[in-house]
Structure formats: structure tokens, C-alpha cells
A and B are shown apart, each in its own frame.
Chain A
Amino acid sequence: MSDLAAPGFPEEAVRLRARTGAAAAFPPAGDYGQVLFGAGPDGPDGLGGPPDRLDALRLTPPVFMEQRLAKLIDLGREPTYQDVDLSTTIGGLRSTAPVYVSALGSTRAAGGDLGLALSRQAGALGIPMVIGENVVPVNGYGRLGEAAGRSLLGRLTAYTERLADGVGGVAVQQSTEDADAEVWNLVHSDPAARPLLDSGRLAFELKVGQGAKPGLGGMTVLDAAAAARVADRYGLDPLFEGQRVLRSSSPGTFTEEILRQQVRLMRNNFPRVRIWVKLHPGRDVAAAVRTAVEAGADAVTVDGAEGGTGWAPAAFPRHVGLPLAECLRRLGALPSGPPPGRLLVSGRMWEGSRAVKSLALGATAVGLGRAALLAVAEDPQDGLVRLVECLGTEMRLLISSLGKYAPGTLGPEDVWSPAEEN
């Protein structure tokens, strides 16, 4: 190595690429399964994204509160934050709060006991849970001797064991490549899913994309033996040292007509199931939301560029995809506004203010991804339950401060953007 230097230039990043080649486009492979990725405004290791406009917004309580008066009349006493009713309907599923657990897929971090703990607690909370699209092709369904905790059946069972009547529900994802595994058909014809199906608490989510890597499919790091087992189904790239292999999925191909017809086909094939669609934060996200809703989707999830727990090339969190705030702005600019009651959003959700701002800008509910995983990692028994309790209390405080008492009554008048003022 020469003593050549380049002050002011990202010298060390260039040297890393010179030493490791294409592996340097990704986070360290050794972190896979231990580190939850995804953009933040000031993330470590250069993973940060642009400043977060959602965080920059302020919630703006008015002085005059007509809805508080209505609540006062209804109650016959002054309302408090405890009078905020957070229960709502999320994509056709009743929920105790405008919160659901986002899909966590087959990534190693979500496997095993954490996935089961998460499922149990989400069921106990009575909030919907999404099960990731490639759990079945990667970990199996659970009927043929696969490890129960990692399988779809294991999570489904853990969730329903603690679920109260009339609330919650499970949304099972499928993406293009998982069509081979027929995840939806498998669940739809399985006796274990029948209680959810019969009680209208089963949803299928068409996965079009994800916030952390818009335009790309799922990516995981596998050892050489595991990679060989899936070589006929996935793209493999031996990028990393120690025989570790990048396994990537095809993202699938969508046009407006393909999306419309896929939603219609889902409605045709599964008339008793709620139909959800998950979109990445593409520049045409507003048109995609409109198309999915017009085709009959019960919910459309927009995963902002801040979203995701899984493996993504480092360039993506930093440079690719619209921030959630911009997705919400574009949806708000539609002539008909965001689709009432059908927009779900995710992306760095963990506390009340970000959630309430999202609801004010047209979302019906917010998804917990990294936060949910961290919470069960902190306490497998009650971590998620406590996190959602705290989130719920914050939401009640914030919503009541706006003179409102239900999440569905929030509106764009409840937030202020210093950027737009200028």
C-alpha cells in the first residue's frame, strides 16, 4: 500500500471497496441477523438518510375545540386524554389501536423465539400482524417438521392463542417469487387458519415493494450450504468473505394494469379474505395507491424510505426512495386526498408524535417494524405490550391536545410545516 492520500475525499470508503470489491456496497455481512437496518436521519456507518420532514412537522392544537365540546356534552363532564378511543378498523380488521406489526419476513433477526414472542404479544394486544412474504419458502409452513418458531404456522398459532374475540387479525404476504410456494392457497385451505377466515380476520397482502430497498426484492445473507439449497429459486452472489452469499429475490414486475388485475384476481380467488397491498415509496406512489384502492384493496401500506429491518445495499437507505413525509404529501395532493380508511404507513415508527402526524396526514394506522423487534428482544414476555401501551398513552395525550377523541378525526389542519411556511 502506498502512502497516497486524498484529504476531503472519502478515501477510506474507496480503500474499502478496493480491498473487498462488491461486498463494500453492503453493510458488513457479519452484522446480518444482529443489526436491524433501515434509514434514519443520522444513522451510523453512513446509513443515514436525508433530514426527516415528518419529524420536522409540529402538531398544532387549536384554541377553539368544537369536538371537545361535543365530547363534553356526550360525557357530561370535561373530557381528558383517557377519553380518546384508539380502537379502529385497519384494512377491514378491528384493532384496539391504530397500530399493527409490520412484516418481518424470514430475516434471521426475526426468526426463532423472537418471531414467536412477537406473535404472542401482538395477539394479546389485539392489533393486526403481518407475516412476511418469504417465511414459507425459506422456513417452511410448519406441517412437515420444520422448526415451529420460524414457520408460518408457528407464528399463526402463537398469535391466535392469545387473541380476544372480535379484534386483530393476520395479514399473510406473498410476492412474485413466493407464488411458487402458493402461500395464500396454503393458508386458505389450512384448518389452522380457519378460525381467522371464518371470523373475517384473515388478510392477504400483495407485496409490491418495501421501503428499505425500493425496486429491489428481498435480500438475505446465507452460508454456502443454505445458499445451495435455494439455488434453483433465488439469485445468489458470493460477495462476502467466509463463504457467505448474498441471496436476492426478484422484485417482480408491475405496471398499472398488472397491479389492478392482481388485486382483482385476489378479490376473485379469496372473497372471504381482506386484500392488502404493500408499496415501496416510489415516485408514482400516489397513482399506485389510487390504482390498488380502485381495484378493491381493503388497505394499501406505504412503506417510507425509512422503513425496513432487513438487508439493503448501503446506497439505498441513503439515496433511494421517497421519505414517508413526501409520500403522505403526494397522497394529500390527490384530488380525492388519501383513501379514507385504507392507508397504512410504516417507516421508523415507535412513538406517538410520528404516529399521530401520520394519522393527521391521512393514514389509518402505523406499522411497527424495528421497534417491535427491539421491544421483544428487550423483554420476550411483555416488551411489545409495554411499547404499545406507551405509544397508546402518547397518542391519547397528543390527540386529546388537538381537541379530538378518535384517530379517524385527525386531519391536515392538525400539523404545521415550517418548511411550507417559508
Chain B
Amino acid sequence: MTVQTAQGPTPPADPGRHLASPTTRSALRIQHHLLGAAREFLRGEGFTELLPPVIGPVTDPGARGSKQVDIDFYGHRYKLMTSAILYKQASLLAFDKIFCVAPNVRLEPLETAGTNRHLVEFHQLDVEVAGASREQITALVEQLVVHMVRSTVAALPAEFEELGRDTDAFHGLLQGAFERVRHSDAVLDLRAAGHDQNPDAELDWEGEALLSAKAGRPFFVTDYPKGSRGFYDRECPGEPGLLRNFDLIAPEGYGELCSGSERTNEYADIITRMRETGENPQKYRWYLDLVREGIPASAGFGIGVERLTRYVAGLDAVWQASAYPKLAGVVSP
């Protein structure tokens, strides 16, 4: 049983009850199948699965005020991974097409405990392709998501029934060819609807939920402004200030499922962008040494595994898609 609050359901204090709940079991079976379908699809496309690192001297610089977790690594301050992004780029020195299912820990701001879409500990299906453009990588996201959902819907009718999730909701998704909306157009849409979206920032949660609620199937938001994202999203050469990146937004108000971009891979560009994002290049030494020697141009993305599960399973909150959910400020096993 879950406790319903004004901000949505909160996880039960007893992990045993959560694990034994039919909702949890169905959600986790759906998640299991989604991941199996992804592996099947990506292997078929020639990808190699790598096991991602859990700790490192540096991780994704993070955003939206979440804190990295520091650990003492034999007297050196190391981080738990908040995203495998830097390691994904480096991994292309071994293989041209890689993926991993990566655990991430982010100490999110306390207010995210009530958003129904944030977990402190979560997983991403991370994909990176050497030499790919944004057009190629968004096409890959589209095919991957369609395959994962089609396969899961076909394989687990009883689980969808148990959850009361009408699989007709995926009719639009299964057609593929998701719409592309530029960030600036999304801002105009939101402002026309009376929502005061900052044009220089990411879509805020409320704005993103508004757009998501209006949509009948997933869509991409592209070309975010530079100040809204990390240094690794490539700046558009023809349109300075805009990034060659994208988010995939789910319909029905479920919000963001996936973020990705073409990557910055030129040394001077990365250093300059690090400064623009307030980073101290000193701590990225191993990564910058690799970049100076040359890493491939690439594009990639990360799909939030629990968020995708939440959407596909039609769950109220993302924590319902985790066996051991951890929410901001809620101490739990």
C-alpha cells in the first residue's frame, strides 16, 4: 500500500511490502523486458555492451542543483557516477558503438521528492555512437524505443492488465517518426499558454509536463540554449548559443524520458565550454588528456530506465519502477 499525499504517492516505509506488491512486481517485469528488448535491438545493430564504472575522480558535472556524492578513494576525493557521459565518450576509443546500463546517484534538491519523476538512485540506458549526427542518433532513439515498447506490450499482456494500463496508449508511439520541436518554439508555445518559461533555461518541470500532457505520442525537443546544459553538448556551428542536443518527452504528462546530443570533442572547445558552465578544468585531467590526444566525434543519449518503465507501465510515480526507491531527503534502504 502506498500513502497518497498532495504531491503524489510516497513509497512505503517497509521495503518488504513494496517488493511483494503486485504493482511493483508487474512494473519490474515490464522493466526487465524493456531492458532485454533494448539489448536485443542494440546487439542486432552491432553495439557492444560495456559495464560502466561506479566511481571516478570526476563524473558528469550535473545540473538543476543536484549534489554529487564524494567518497574517499585512498585519500583522494572520488565521485559516485551521476552519469556515464565522460566514460561513454572515452569508450569509443575501444568500440565505435557502445551501450551500458549505468547506475547513477544524484543528491537531488529536496523539492524533487514530490515531483513523482526524480530518484536519487536511478539507472540509464546509455548509448554512444562514433561519428553519428543528431539526426542519426534521434532516429536510433526512435527505433529503439519503438522496439522496446512493441516487444514488451506483445510479451506481457497480463502485467499491463494487472496495472490497468491500456496498451492502446502506445498506438501513436508505435508509428515511429516522432515530432521534432525546437526549444525556442516550445518556449513560445508555453508562453502563449500563459506559462512563464525562461527562454535561456531548460524547460521547467511544470512547462515540460504541460507540453507532455498535450501530446498524443513521444516527441523530441531540440536545440536547447547553451546556458541550460553541460559542456559536452556540441554548440551548433551555424547557430552559436544553441546546442546540437535533444530530449525525448513522453506523452500523457509523463515528461522527459531521454537526453542526448552530438558531443563536443575538440580540446579548446571543451575547455572553453567548461568555463562557461562554471567548471574547473583541473579536476577533469584524465579526460582532457584523452581529448588532447583525440577522441572520436560522436553522438549519444541516455534513457532513464525507471522513467521509461513508469511511462510504459502507466505508474503514478517513478519510485514505483524501482525495487529499492530512494527519494530526495527520504532516508531509505
The chain A residues found within 8 Å of chain B, CB to CB, are 174, 176-177, 179-180, 182, 184-186, 188-189, 191, 194, 206, 250, 252-255, 257-258, 260-273, 295-296
- Whether B296 sits at the interface, judged by CB under 8 Å, is no
Report chain B residues within 8 Å CB of A186: 67
Within B69-123, which residues are at the interface with A (CB < 8 Å)?
Answer: 77, 107-111
Q: How many residues of B contact A (CB 8 A)?
A: 33
Assuming A180-B280, A261-B276, is B64 touching A269 (CB within 8 A)?
A: yes
- Whether B198 sits at the interface, judged by CB under 8 Å, is yes
Task: Give Cα distance in the complex from A191 to B275, angstroms.
Answer: 29
What are 28 pairs between A and B in contact, CB < 8 Å?
A: A174-B278, A180-B77, A180-B282, A180-B283, A188-B65, A189-B67, A189-B107, A189-B108, A189-B109, A194-B110, A206-B278, A250-B282, A254-B275, A258-B276, A261-B276, A261-B277, A262-B275, A263-B227, A264-B225, A265-B228, A267-B198, A267-B201, A268-B198, A268-B201, A269-B63, A269-B65, A272-B111, A295-B227
Report chain B residues within 8 Å CB of A184: 65
Within B267-299, which residues are at the interface with A (CB < 8 Å)?
Answer: 272, 275-280, 282-283
Closest to B275 in A: A258
Nearest Cβ in chain A — how far from B142, in angstroms?
27
Task: Give Cα distance in the complex from A112 to B201, angstroms.
Answer: 39
Closest to B200 in A: A264
- Whether B68 sits at the interface, judged by CB under 8 Å, is yes
Report chain B residues within 8 Å CB of A268: 63-64, 198, 200-202, 227-228
Report yes or no: B328 in contact with A265, Cβ–Cβ below 8 A: no
Interface secondary structure of B, over-half rule: loop
Closest to B107 in A: A189
Interface secondary structure of A, over-half rule: helix
Report chain A residues within 8 Å CB of B328: 189
Q: Most chain-B Cβ atoms within 10 A of its Cβ — which of A177, A188, A265? A: A265
The chain B residues found within 8 Å of chain A, CB to CB, are 62-68, 77, 107-111, 198, 200-202, 204, 225-228, 272, 275-280, 282-283, 328-329
Report chain B residues within 8 Å CB of A267: 198, 200-201, 227
Report chain B residues within 8 Å CB of A250: 280, 282
Report chain A residues within 8 Å CB of B64: 268-269
Report yes or no: B225 in contact with A189, Cβ–Cβ below 8 A: no
Closest to B205 in A: A271
A-B pairs with lowest CB-CB distance, top 4: A264-B227, A261-B276, A185-B67, A268-B201
Report yes or no: A264 in contact with B226, Cβ–Cβ below 8 A: yes
Closest to B79 in A: A182
Report yes or no: B280 in contact with A189, Cβ–Cβ below 8 A: no
Q: Most chain-A Cβ atoms within 10 A of its Cβ — which of B65, B279, B283? A: B65
14 further A-B contacts with Cβ under 8 Å, apart from A180-B283, A261-B227, A264-B200, are A176-B280, A179-B279, A182-B67, A185-B65, A185-B66, A185-B67, A188-B109, A189-B66, A189-B67, A268-B198, A268-B201, A268-B227, A272-B111, A295-B200
Report yes or no: A271 in contact with B204, Cβ–Cβ below 8 A: yes
Report chain A residues within 8 Å CB of B227: 260-265, 267-268, 295
Report chain B residues within 8 Å CB of A266: 278
Nearest Cβ in chain B — how far from A218, in angstroms?
14
Task: Give Cα distance in the complex from A313 to B226, angstroms.
Answer: 38
Report chain A residues within 8 Å CB of B66: 185, 189
Assuming A189-B110, A189-B328, A265-B227, is B280 touching A271 (CB within 8 A)?
A: no
Nearest Cβ in chain A — how far from B64, in angstroms?
5
Task: Give Cα distance in the complex from A7 to B202, angstroms.
Answer: 67
Closest to B240 in A: A257
Report chain A residues within 8 Å CB of B109: 188-189
Task: Give Cα distance in the complex from A184 to B109, angstroms.
Answer: 11
Nearest Cβ in chain B — how far from A255, in angstroms?
8
Closest to A270 in B: B65
Report yes or no: A264 in contact with B228, Cβ–Cβ below 8 A: yes
Closest to A273 in B: B65
Report chain A residues within 8 Å CB of B280: 176-177, 179-180, 250
Residue from A182, A261, A269, A270 within 8 A of B68 (CB atoms): A182
Task: Give Cα distance in the complex from A260 to B277, angstroms.
Answer: 10
Task: Give Cα distance in the complex from A326 to B277, angstroms.
Answer: 31
Task: Give Cα distance in the complex from A189 to B67, angstroms.
Answer: 7
Task: Give Cα distance in the complex from A136 to B198, angstroms.
Answer: 31
Residue from A176, A185, A194, A295 within 8 A of B62 (CB atoms): A185
Report chain A residues within 8 Å CB of B276: 257-258, 261-262, 265
Assuming A189-B109, A269-B65, A271-B204, is B278 touching A262 (CB within 8 A)?
A: yes
Task: Give Cα distance in the complex from A262 to B278, angstroms.
Answer: 6
Closest to B67 in A: A185
Report chain A residues within 8 Å CB of B77: 180
Task: Give Cα distance in the complex from A265 to B198, angstroms.
Answer: 12
Task: Give Cα distance in the complex from A269 to B229, angstroms.
Answer: 9
Closest to B201 in A: A268
Q: Most chain-B Cβ atoms within 10 A of its Cβ — which of A174, A182, A194? A: A182
Report chain B residues within 8 Å CB of A185: 62, 65-68, 107
Task: Give Cα distance in the complex from A190 to B121, angstroms.
Answer: 17
Task: Give Cα distance in the complex from A258 to B286, angstroms.
Answer: 23
Task: Give Cα distance in the complex from A332 to B66, angstroms.
Answer: 39
Nearest Cβ in chain B — how far from A73, in angstroms?
38
Report yes or no: A265 in contact with B278, Cβ–Cβ below 8 A: yes
Task: Give Cα distance in the complex from A320 to B110, angstroms.
Answer: 44
Closest to A265 in B: B227
Closest to A266 in B: B278
Closest to B77 in A: A180
Task: Give Cα distance in the complex from A189 to B66, angstroms.
Answer: 7
Nearest Cβ in chain A — how far from B95, in angstroms?
31
Task: Give Cα distance in the complex from A271 to B283, angstroms.
Answer: 26
Report yes or no: A179 in contact with B278, Cβ–Cβ below 8 A: yes
Report chain A residues within 8 Å CB of B63: 268-269
Task: Give Cα distance in the complex from A176 to B110, angstroms.
Answer: 25
Nearest Cβ in chain A — how far from B309, in angstroms?
25
Closest to B225 in A: A264
Task: Give Cα distance in the complex from A262 to B227, angstroms.
Answer: 7
